[in-house]
A = this chain, B = another copy of it.
Amino acid sequence: MKTAAILIIGNEILSGRTRDSNLQTLARELAIKGIRLDEVRVIADRFTAIVAAVNALRASHDFVFTTGGIGPTHDDITTECLAAAFGRVVLEDPEARRCLTEYYGAGNLNEARLKMACVVAGASLIANPLSAAPGFQIENVFVLPGVPKILEAMLPEILTRLPTGATIASQTVTAWLRESEIATELTAIQQSHPAVDIGSYPFMREERFGTALVVRGTDAAARMAAVSSISALLRSLQAKFEVE
């Protein structure tokens, strides 16, 4: 199975000002593609931290997705960091310049906007149908914007560049009991269903405790079999539950 990592570049996430949503967007699409998201890092807009994280993640995962830092302002340093990580230069891309000229109008292409036409040498552009400034791919690293709507608009093109494996899907059994009431039996069920991952997530809703039992894997029959075992356990305990 192919693996992926996401590198979220952004002081605004680390400050607590903005709650990231790109992780969830990318995670869901990767699961459909059968690519396992192994790790996410959120780091500040600092040169050495970004270069080190890019190099660590691209060496240890099949694909890396960076988000943020490719705009026109002083705090947008992702492109130069990527260039340093790959030991390449930053170049103005003619096609990116053409898109920006078309979008802003030829007379309005100031220095800041031209910065968004710059990519790492050898990268291939990812079109931005919403606001022209492109993302780009360099080897196994996809360099994407932080604005969720723009990232989402780039997704169809990104997905065509990724291999398609067996979709990782899940079924959830929501049970109205404490996970500590079934932990031992659940361990046994996990052991007898090694083709799936069973996650146990306690929650509180309207002052009541419940547990979401999430069965995840690529094999539909294996998921069904594990859900059956969990359902049988819950029935034997006369616990209220629903399968989604």
Contact = CB atoms under 8 A, between A and B. Distances in A.
Interface of A: 11-21, 23-28, 30-31, 37-45, 49, 71-76, 104, 110-113, 115-116, 130-131, 146-147, 149, 168, 170, 172, 179-181, 183-184, 186-187, 190, 197-204, 209, 214, 216
A23 B40 CA distance: 13
Nearest to A216: B15
A186 B74 contact: yes
Nearest to A68: B201
Interface residues of chain A: helix, strand, loop or mixed (majority):
mixed
Nearest to A115: B183
26 contacts: A11-B197, A12-B199, A12-B214, A15-B170, A16-B31, A16-B37, A17-B214, A19-B21, A19-B24, A38-B44, A38-B49, A40-B41, A41-B41, A41-B42, A71-B180, A73-B187, A73-B200, A74-B187, A74-B190, A75-B190, A75-B199, A76-B200, A110-B180, A110-B181, A115-B183, A116-B180
Given A110-B183, A111-B183, A112-B183, 12 more contacts: A12-B214, A15-B216, A16-B30, A17-B170, A19-B19, A23-B42, A39-B49, A74-B200, A104-B180, A112-B180, A131-B209, A146-B201
